[in-house]
Structures are given as C-alpha cells and as structure tokens.
Structure 1
C-alpha cells in the first residue's frame, strides 16, 4: 500500500504541474489593442524603411510580452503575425495536452498494476495460511500493540527484525517476532507458520499465533525465560555455567526435537540453521529448537532435495557445495553444537591463537593425538569432574561430523545412543572440515547467515544474543 500511496501522490503532483505549465503558456501571451498597434508601429521608422514588411498584416499584429520585461513590447524580439502566432500556439497546446494525457495514462496504468499485484500477493498469502492444517491463532495488530505495550521491551534483534516481550490478556507471557522487509521476509514468515504452526513437540518452541495485517508480519511464541543456549555456554563466569547433567540434558532435548522433525512429521522438516542461538531454554533449562525461518519441507518419497545455500558459516555441512541436501545437514550442525556445549567455546574464537581459532580443526588435531580431554570446558569445575562422559559425547559429535553424509547417524539413532540403547560406531573418520564449513569468511564482530537470496543475521525469540 505504501508504493500505491507514493504513486498516487506523484501522479497528483505531476497533474498539477502540467495544469500550471499550460496556464503559464497562455497567460504569457498578451493582446494589445489593435488600433494602437496599427497607428504607432506603422509610423515607426523601422517599418517605413522595411521593404519586406506587408502592411495587410499590420492590423493583426500581436506582440509577445515576457514576464519581467518592460511594459512596452520589444519590436525586435516580440513581433509576430497573428496567423503564425495562432498556428504556433495551437500546435504547442495540442502537443502539450496530448503529451500530458499520455503521461497521466502511463502513470495511472503503472499505479493500478502495482496496486493489484500487491493486493493479489496479500490474497495469495492469506490463501496459503488458510490451507495450513491446525493453524495457530491469528491476532490483530492492535492486540499485539497492547500485549507488548506498544513494542517497548525489546529482547533482541536479527536480520529479519526485532523480538519483543509481551503478555496476553490471559496472562500468558509471549515473545513477538516482528519481521521487516519484502520478499525474503514473506518467505521466512510463511516458512515458520507452515512449519511450526501445525506441529507440537515438547522440544520445539511453541507458536501461539501470528499477525498478518497489511504490511505487518508478526510471529507469536511462548516466552522462554532463560533465553538462548549461547548465553550459558560461551562465558567465563562460573555462576552462569551449566553443569554436566544440564548440558547432557540439553543435548538430548535438541536431538529429540530434531528426530521429531526428521522422522515423525507428515513431511520431513529440515531446520537448516541449528546453532546455540536458536536453542532456547525454559525456567527448568529444558531445551527447545526455535527459529524455522530457513527450514525446508521434504516429501517422504524424496531422498534428497536441491536448494540454495542457507544457514550459518561454521555449521554448514560439506554437501552444501553440491546444493543437494538431506536431513543429514542438520545432523552435521548438531555435531558442531555438541562440541560447543562440551568445550564451552564458539566454533570460531578469535581470542585464541590462530592454530586454535577454529574448534573443528582443534578437535581433529586433538583426536589424532588421543588428547580430547584437554578440550573439555575448563571454566566449569563440574565439567572437569565428568571428563570421561564428556569425551564420549565428543566422540558422538565426531560421528555426526563425518564428511560423507551417509556415514552420519540419523537423529533417532543419536537419541538411542544418548539414552544408552546403542553404541557409537567405531573407526570414525576424523578428517572432517573444509573451507565451506570453516567460518573464516565471517568478518570480525559479525556473524552472517546465508538465505535464499540475501545474507541473514541471526534472528532471536527470547533474549539478547
């Protein structure tokens, strides 16, 4: 609607300009009394001495007076015959009016096309949302303004917009994700509503509702009071440190959530952006997978699907180079997150020496030396008391990080390993990692995602990143 208003305003301004211009042209032509002109100009020396002047046209002499000139018309620059003047003015006015009408018609046509295109796009989006089974509640924009106190308490900000804390009239605390932008935002909005709007699992963040009103696109989620996982594992503060049992439970919760997406839904759902920032913790530190803006639906009869690169550098599986992916790209990202949880550091830590900056390279080197115990989070005393279990968890991560996606376990197998019903596959290949999965391309102080058509910054649901 904003484009339509701008086009309408421009059209009105242009029409007024044309009317004013035409009025100016006609008003600049000043007729003097013909008798006075005949008498005064016929007797002038210039006319008497002119051999080429035809007196029969004198009675129809019409000078042109330009605004700002003297009151007496200039004979040298403003002397025309009425016959020539009328012909010139007629042609000029006809050309002006015809041109104005053509321009007006063109601008009106463009405005109508843009307006209809936007209207049909909104109707198509409404149809898409209505076809989603088990749709969550649709809220009006006014209700969202009231619930968030006019969007006054910001929890965080990402590439697609901002997240605000709010409370519904029922007393339920919510996190409202406000999407900003055009085409890519619509894709993200529909992806999240279609993906998580109709599914329910204890380890997936619950979508309470959404708002799709005019240009507003809002997603309403349950509020997670402990924020995202990165706040609790990337630290140097013992008070914020998670003990071994909490970390292990978080890993199991993530695995269960992904296993549900991959194997228990009507269509397989590939998240494509698993990382600590997209894992949220409730008041009991139960983990829930969130942010489905980049997710992809895969039919059960499809073994793999071609799609454009999306996700976050450092968490991208090697097969992204071929653009042919399966749900195993999430398994790779899960393996990276497991390493970060156990080691208590980011996949890329610029505070470390260059040879230790990239965690997967450091993990590979220590595994070859049989020295994984040195990678266990040294900032947590409890983690140092459970180094044996932590090393076993890193071996599970290595299984998930295999370069050949067919050698990686499914998420349901990972769950069984964590629950003690299966063992980790022996003889793992530790030669994982390549230039795509290494996040060296990330500029300092910034982390980027790759979306369908443009870079995306991490989006948040509850808590600053």
Structure 2
C-alpha cells in the first residue's frame, strides 16, 4: 500500500482499544491482518491448528486472545467435523490452556458463532484471500464460494474483535464491513438483528447445513417461522409502533410512520427490541435474562428454540430459553415430529380411540415417540374417493394461518376435495358458522382445554383407506360341484368380451388417433408398473401429481391429470403442442396414456427438479452461482425464441414461471407444462382467450383477453428478476413496502440503488454487479406495459450471448430508450414497468 496509508494503518493498529499484552503473542496468530494476505486451507500453511478427539479439526487464521485466560478465545479460520471432508470458513470460540500452556485445549469442543459458506463447504487447499479491500473465499479448484463484496480501496485491514465480530476497516478505523451485520444462527453479546435480517437454524446439532427454522424482525415485532409452503409462524412478539411515534422530542417528519428501523439487540441480561427514529432509540420490549460475568451467546437451534449459553470455565452450558417466556414445550412445531400430538411434554400418535391407534398411524420409532408418526397408508391423489377425515377431540395446531368463514361441513368437504390438504381445523364463531383452516403441511399438534383457551376447535386429519375387497358368497356344495364349471366358463367368456370392448373403447377414446408425429401411447398398466404403483412422488403440478418411474434403464416423470373431465383441454394442448416439436430447452414428451379413466403424460426425467426450489430457498443442496443463473436465463430465452419464431405456428406458452422451468443434472434449463399453451397462426396478430396463467406473471394485456406471444416475454422479465433477486415477485412474507418486486425495482431505479434487489443471502452474486445491471436492463425492457415495446425473444437471446446490447438494439432504441435511462453515474432511472 502507499506509504501514507501504511503509516495510518500502523497508527490505527497501536490505537485500537485492545489489551496489548493479551492481543499479541508468539504462541497465537495476530487478530489483525493486512491487505494482500493469502491463507490456504492445509496444515502446512496454517500452523495454528488442532484436532479434537472425535476427529473435528480447526485451522485458525486470526485469534483474539481473551484478557482472562479462563474464558474462551475467538478465532476465525477453517473448521470441519469428522471425517473432515468439508470445511467451513467460520468464526468460532476455542478453549485454551493456562498461561503456562497456551495451546488450544482439545478437551473442550469449538463452538461455531458465524459461518460464511454454510450452504457451500470447501475442501482441503481452499483459499482465503484479503485483496483490494475484499475478503474472498475460493474452493481448491479456484471457484468462487463467498466474498464480502466490498472491493473498496479504502479498506486497509481485517480485525477480529474481542466481541467475536470480524471487521474490515479503513485507514480512519471506520467499519466498512462486519460479520455482525450478516448473522447465521447466532447472536453474540452486543450484536443486533436488524429488520429484514434472519437467524436461520442449523439442520442438525452435528450438521452445519441450513435448517428449517428462522427468526426475523419485521417492522412491528419479532417473528419465528418454520419453513413450509408457505412458511408457518410459531412465535411472535408484537409491539405498537404508533405508541412510539407520539413520544415527545422525536423530531419526526410528516411521514414519520415510515421513517424508522426496527431491531433487537442481545445485551448482557436482556434481549431488547428497539425502534430507531433519527438515531434516537425507543425500547419497545425487554426480555430479562440471567447476566453472568462470563461470556454469552444466543443461538436459534434445530428444534426451534432460541437458547442463551454461558461459559462455565470449561464448556458452554445452556442458561435460558428466550422464546419460553411466551411458549410452552408443546408449542414448538417439531416437538413431537410430523403428526405427533404433544400433551404435557409427552408425544403420541393420532387415533380415533385407544383401540384404533395402529389402523391409521404408526410411530416412526417406538423408543423415541418425539420422532413423530407416519400414516399407515400414504395419502394418494389417485384414491381420493377412499379418503376420510379422522376427528381428533381437543387437539389444536401451533398456527392455523389463513382462514375463511363457512360452516363445518363445507370446511371438511373442501379438505377432502383438495389433494394438498392434510388436515382441516374449524373454529366456531357461532352456532351456524366459523373459521375454516386447511393445512397443506402438518408438523406437531397439541392437546388443549377449551375452557382454558376460551373457544372450541374441531380438528380433522385426512387418512387414506384401501378400496374394499370384492364381496364373496358361500356356495351350496351341490351348486359348487355342478354349476361351478359352467359359471367359470361364462365368466371367462364375459371377461374376453369386456376386454375386447374396452380395447375398442380405448382406441376410440384416443384423441390423437391418426395424427402424425405423436409420441408413444402407453397403457395405464405399463405406467403403473414403470412407476412401481406411483410410489415415488416428485412434486405437485397445477393439474396433478408427478411421479418418478423407469422404462428399461431410462428414468421418466409421469404426470397424472387429476380431473380427466375438466383437464381434457389442457391434456390435448400439451400433447399437440410439444408432441411433435423438439428443442434442447424444451422438456421432451416421451409419451402419453389416454383412456376412459386415465390421462397421463410421460416426460424425460429432470434430475434437479424445478427452478423455484433453487432460487426461493427450498433446496438444501445449496444456492446457484451467478454463472449458473445466467445460463438458466439464456436457456429459457432460447426455448421461448424457438416456440415464438421457429415453429410452423407460433406457440404462446402463457404460464412461464420458475415452477415450470426444470433443470437437468448439469443445470440445463428446459421449459415444461404446456397445458395452457395457445397456437397462433403466422398470419394472426393475436388471439382471444380467457385469462390463464399464474398471478404475478400475467402481462397487463390479459385485462383485454387479447394475447400475443409477447405475454410470455413479460413473464420472462418477471422470472429474470426473480432469478437475480432470489425472491418471488409477489411475496407476502416481505415487509409491506417491498412485497411486490417490480414496484420495489421501480423505487430502487429512482434512487439509483438497483443492486439492492440482489439475492442478499448469496454474496457471490453480488460480485457481478455490472453484468447483473445489464441483465436487469434486459428484464425491464421485457416488462414494458405496451407489448409492442417488448423485444422479440431472438433479440433477447442475442443480448444474452453478447452479439448485441440493449443500447445499440434498434427495437430498444425506438421503443424504450426514452423510458429507460442507464448511465455510469446513475445505473438506473425510472421506467414505466408494469406490475399487476
């Protein structure tokens, strides 16, 4: 660095408020690093390592020695659990010996406080580099895993503070980036959880992958959820912002109701919530905690509890359960596993009565009732006529979610008719009606006493019955000996006649008979055998479930249309549309089944499932890199360009969304689900059709029902923004001001902060700001209210391939450039983007 900056760095170094005798030692690495430092994850280049009795290993890069030797030290570096195939870059506490033996004490396990790469561990010889103001983690093959995304020339040093906070600072000692602002599952003393940020649990106590519980601060309180679709709330502590606004001496503007930030802080002795107005804090609630003299941390754990731990001199011990202030043991979503009923801390399975327990449910592990229960007969959408609702007296759920007013009979019928419904709850408002709640995902239930809670609730769980066996009658012996041969012969003749009639009927029922180029037709029996009686469900589409199967050595996916009467139009549209076309970015239709009772579609199997599971945080295997996301965007564009411009008739898909984009084993993207597609002749400028598609992806012209292929281009623009941001266009789990992604983008365009919409949980993406801005430009071009201003998909492909850019494209210049202005000083400015 230049000599002046070096001098400032040294002056800062010696002015830091660190007890010098405890911060520098020949026995431990420094807690501060200079820029242009490089560490490689191996014992040869990181000598400060330790291996624990279970095989876990730490390799410390920075160590902050504690002023009191009997308290744990903080360190940052690489850490792994046995058998140590994967490493995290993390901040962790380590125990040390006494001053005469200052080595790491391996009798006390390290405790992780923060991780950079929880969703993507690295291998031996991965590297951490502090260069150009940026801290960058790369795997052994050089691939980018994580970064602070600072790239700030002002950054001169990296510091691990006594609080456990890892800080990048400039020459004046000012913080540029800190780990405290990017929490994982833990809060350290003095750390705050700000509005919109999350604590997310680990999945298991010995597994550091991201779990299913998360705690977040919204503008009106502290909330805890368990991941589901949609997430289910199990804890809330709300406060009234209005009461805070009218406090005196606040100096708030006329729109002061929006001019505040909310956060909670973990302090010794309390967990306090604050609302901040112009740097003035008001404490809205304060949960008292024991305040020991030793160190503390707070962790959201894999059972949904928020626990405080303290250091007892040798190890971390639980001290307090924060949410227990408002929740009892039975109110946690996984306390008794799926379907388990919690009563005074004891777990049991649902039953009609004590004698019928094994008829419907079985415990997963008889020795561990808290593991939960499973249905004795799994629910099947193909056998809904044999499903019934099992009433459970005095049983309730931790959160019932959305509801509507109806009568109890209608509530139960709605659940029986909805394949996704697992249980129905009915809360009485008066004698004739009440509130109905349908649950698509069921975690633990709990017993309750109506006289205590003050209301009555009826609970019903859906169970599967087997079809009844055919009835048999006892035959008279004489009839048996004389008439049996005749009866058998008659039955055989009848069966042969019925088979011939059914075969003719099936041939007549084939809507594609005589059409050239159609895919293979399968019998229902063939597909039932190929899917092992539809035993492995891959997912649930808009028209029915999808099952995994195998034809020979080829994996397939079989979609079963639930309602063959109402679904016939969609079935025929799908087969006719993609049965005779082939493109690398369209899911291949292998065949179909069509008879009087069944309509099924057979596709190629896509190993990595649908795109929504990867970009909306539903996939435990990790997140997508920017390079992969860019390739997916290009693949979708190529598939749509083929449909719109290269087929004999233009094909408008009309339901482009992440759930209809499937990924193969190499993350090649393919468009699927053509049930709503429309064919448009080349001489037709548009078609008239009823509204079809998915809310959040519909183009404005749907209001007139006059549609062209440009409706797909609008939907494509929405999908591009969702891929970049990692969130849905319409997301009610977001704060009200930002629950519409397109409106949020418009606001960010006005203030030149477009990159604020990026996926903030994937910091690798944030390293590609310039390229992402170009992609957002392209998305905005596709989102024009006037469909004539949107580009053709062939233009989109050329932009993404770098053959043209939006600035030089004739269509963009003529149609949109006056509306959208991009320049170097202000990346984005207002555009008339439409959102419905």
Q: Indicate the TM-score class for this superposition, using the shorter chain for normalisation.
A: 0.5 to 0.7
Q: CA deviation at 1:214?
A: 2.2
Which one has the bigger helix percentage? 1
**Which residue of structure 2 aligns with residue 46 of structure 1?**
none
Partner of 2:753: 371
Aligned to 1:431: 832
**Matched residue, 1:234:** 616
Q: Are 1:148 and 2:531 counterparts?
A: yes
| TM-superposed deviation, 1:431 | 2.0
> Partners in 2 of 1:367 and 1:129 — Cα distance?
50
CA distances 1:78-130 after superposition (whole Å, capped 9, x unpaired): xxxxxxxxxxxxxxxxxxxxxxxxxxxxxxxxxxxxxxxxx99977752x413
1:354-384 deviation digits (Å, cap 9, x = unpaired): 0101101001111122210111111112101
- Structure 2: stretches of 5+ with no match in the other structure: 1-502, 807-811, 821-830
- The corresponding residue for 2:605 is 223
Identify, as 1 or 2, the structure richer in strand.
Answer: 2
CA distance, structure 2, for counterparts of residue 332 and residue 289 of structure 1: 16
- Would the aligned equivalents of 1:376 and 1:387 in 2 still touch at CA under 8 Å? no
- Does the 8 A contact of 1:398 with 1:428 survive in 2? no
Instruction: Find the aligned partners of 1:158 and 1:359 in 2 and give their Cα distance.
Output: 24
| Cα shift readout 1:258-278 (whole Å, capped 9, x = no counterpart) | 000001111111000000000
The CA distance in 1 between the partners of 2:765 and 2:715, in whole Å, is 23
User: What CA distance in whole angstroms lies between the structure 1 residues aligned with 2:559 and 2:730?
Assistant: 27
After superposition, the Cα gap between the structure-2 partners of 1:298 and 1:236, relative to the gap in structure 1 and judged at 3 Å, is closer
Q: Residues 287 and 412 from structure 1, CA distance in 2 versus in 1: closer, same or farther, beyond 3 angstroms?
A: same
1:409 aligned partner: 791
Q: Retained in 2: the 8 A contact 1:328–1:405? A: yes
- The correspondence of residues 174-323 of structure 1 with structure 2, limited to 5 A, is 174-235=556-617, 240-323=622-705
2:551 corresponds to 1:160: no
Alignment partner of 1:285: what SS? coil
How far 1:433 sits from its partner (Å)? 2.2
Aligned partner of residue 567 in structure 2, secondary structure? helix
| Change beyond 3 A, Cα 1:236–1:120 | closer
Q: Which has the higher contact order (CA 8 A, sep 6+)?
A: 1
Between the aligned partners of 2:514 and 2:787, the Cα distance in structure 1 is: 34
**Counterpart position of 1:349:** 731
Q: How far apart, in 1, do the equivalents of 2:775 and 2:515 lie?
A: 38
Aligned to 1:335: 717
Q: Across the two proteins, how many residue pairs are aligned to each other?
A: 316
Q: What is the rounded CA distance, in whole Å, between the counterparts of 1:293 and 1:125 in structure 2?
A: 19
Q: 2: distance between equivalents of 1:370 and 1:120?
A: 67
Tell me if structure 2 keeps the 8 A contact 1:205–1:290: yes
Change (3 A) 1:374 1:121: farther
The Cα RMSD (Å) is 2.0
CA separation of 1:125/1:399 partners in 2, compared to 1, >3 Å: closer, same or farther? farther
Alignment of 1:69-218 (within 5 A): 126=510, 128-168=511-551, 170-218=552-600
How far did residue 131 of structure 1 move?
Answer: 4.5
Give SS of 2:634's match.
helix
- Asked if the contact 2:591/2:602 (under 8 Å) is kept, the reply is yes
Which is greater in Rg?
Answer: 1
Q: Secondary structure at the match of 2:630?
A: helix
Helix, strand or coil at the partner of 2:545? strand
Summarize deviations over 1:308-353 as a string: whole Å, max 9, x none.
Answer: 1000011000001111110000000000000000011111222221
Q: Tell me by how many angstroms 1:428 deviates.
A: 3.4
Distance change in 2, residues 1:213/1:239 (3 Å): closer
CA distance in 2, matches of 1:291, 1:133: 22
Offset at residue 184 of structure 1 (A):
2.5
Compute the displacement of 1:235 (Å).
1.6
Q: For the structure 1 residues 353 and 255, does the alpha-carbon distance in structure 2 shift closer, same or farther, using more than 3 Å as the test?
A: same
Alpha-carbon distance between aligned partners in 2 of 1:211 and 1:132, rounded to the nearest angstrom? 15
> Using a 3 Å threshold, how does the CA distance of structure 1 residues 121 and 267 change in structure 2: closer, same or farther?
farther
Cα 1:124–1:141 change in 2 (3 A) is closer
Deviations 1:396-445 (A, max 9, x none): 000000000000001011001111111213333522225xx2xxxxxxxx
Long gaps (5+) in structure 1: 1-118, 438-465
Instruction: Give me the whole-angstrom Cα distance separating, in 1, the residues matched to 2:553 and 2:607.
Output: 15
- Displacement of 1:249 in angstroms is 0.2
Which residue of the other structure, out of 765, 779, 782, is the alignment partner of 1:400?
A: 782
CA distance in 2, matches of 1:125, 1:303: 34
Residue 237 of structure 1: how far off its partner (Å) = 7.8
4+ residue runs over 4 A deviation = 119-125, 236-239
Query: What residue in structure 1 maps to residue 439 of structure 2?
Result: none
Name the CA distance, whole Å, in 2 between partners of 1:412 and 1:394.
Answer: 17
SS at match of 1:208: strand
